[in-house]
């Protein structure tokens, strides 16, 4: 299946969850904010959120600074 991740086309296997995607990107779930098709996704919903053909995913890493 194909989707858009942070503005770039990406091919994934069918049946991939949001958690699977983040793991493949080596991103810790607690350190990112995710928007799926323009709607924010709660961190607790990552494992149960299936990705589908044509989805638009935006992942933003949280960083500390000072």
Residue 63 has a pLDDT of: 76
Residue 66 has a pLDDT of: 63
Residue 30 has a pLDDT of: 86
Cα 65 to the center of its chain, rounded Å: 24
The torsion angles phi and psi of 9, rounded to 5 degrees, stand at -65, 140
Which tens digit of pLDDT belongs to each residue from 54-63?
999 999 988 7
Q: Which domains does the chain have, with CATH numbers?
A: 2-61 (3.10.20.30)
Complete DSSP assignment for 35-50 = EETTEEE-GGGGGG-B
Q: What does the angle CA 40 – CA 46 – CA 50 come to, to the nearest 5 degrees?
A: 95
Which tens digit of pLDDT belongs to each residue from 32-48?
999 999 999 999 999 99
Average pLDDT (8-34) is: 94
């Amino acid at each position: 299946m194909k989707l858009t991740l942070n503005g770039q086309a990406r091919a994934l296997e069918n049946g991939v969850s949001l958690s699977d995607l983040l793991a493949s990107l080596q991103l810790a779930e607690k350190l990112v904010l995710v928007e799926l098709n323009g709607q924010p996704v709660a961190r607790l919903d990552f494992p149960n959120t299936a990705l589908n053909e044509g989805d638009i995913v935006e992942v933003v890493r949280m960083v500390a600074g000072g």
